[in-house]
Structure 1
Amino acid sequence: MDEQIHEKLKEIKQSFRLLMNGVASQSMRQKGVSYKINWGVPLPELQKMAAEYGKDYGLAVELWKEDIRECQVLATLIMPAEKMDAELVDVWMERLRTQEMAELLAFNLLQYLDFAPSLAYRWIASASAIRQLCGYQLLARLFARKLEPNERGVNEFLDQVRTTLEGRDLPLKHAAYNCVLSFCGLGADYEAVARKALAGMDLL
């Protein structure tokens, strides 16, 4: 790590202490959101910090390596999407631990990658619950931006949603359901296809 990045990282970590919100941090812990360190810094504060630092590939890479909630949130905000390749996505996914971070990673960064759709379809079919969760979050963002899937994509998506909704993982079922709502938002034809594929599940 070069000296400049090292100094920035130190500065950032020190600033978290000043912004610490013990109540928020404790509340997350009680809800099972576990990080090695969690200062409970609110997202708007982190967005402000990200704006001050600007897009910075080297700093984002180092921030993501820290098992600290605020460092990882900042990493998703300052990583330039055009420099995030498939290999780095895999490295980051290995460190993904919480539902909150899966949502923020998809929202702040992954939805802007050129290869986002192929990632999302691969992940919703993954054996890893956290990858599935991130995949549904990512697809929901892409559908909300009116990115229409091809026929194969539609079939894969609805097959996977059915499997997920028949399972027992509540956060995952919630993510899949929200994703279906975004899919239906693409238009009446898509809604009709979803209703047909998920008939009998009393969802739509």
Structure 2
Amino acid sequence: MTFVATNPLDQFEVRSIIGLDISVFNNLYLSITNIGLYLTISLILSFMFTLLTDNNEKLLMNKWSLNQESITITVKNLVINQISATKGQIYFPFIYTLFMFILINNLIGMVPYNFASTAHFVLTFSLSFTIVLGATLLGFHKHGLKFFSLFVPAGCPLGLLPLLVLIEFIVLRLGNLIILW
């Protein structure tokens, strides 16, 4: 399969690499695309990075272990500063995994003539949508109807509350989607 880029935007096209026509569930078409291939490569690279950081219980760290330690401390400080030192620790594994996923995929995309999977709207929108939806559901679960108080400025008249809650919810959630995208 030869690919000649005639347009600078050709690198963002999702192409089927291996396709299978299967007549299951109304002629379901399964294929391995370039985005799936590069996500698999990023998964393999993250496992390799984890294996390289294994220090085999030595007293002195190797370079990879030191790098991993500094990334972990940076993300942990981010969680502590943004959420809380006591209640935020439960979200650390998720935020760390998300950070490493985006980091590795962005570093792969920086290599010339490689595919940038995080540059695609489908991947970034699905990540941001699920995170915003999860954060909203978690907020309702933890705070109940008090969750709406986050969208109301202090000293607001009671008659404006429904309108302000609606506006703040839409603006905040759309703003989060745009920021994550």
Larger radius of gyration: 2
Q: Which protein, 1 or 2, shows the higher relative CO under an 8 Å CA cutoff with sep ≥ 6?
A: 2
TM-score normalised by structure 2 residue count: 0.29
TM-score normalised by structure 1 residue count: 0.26
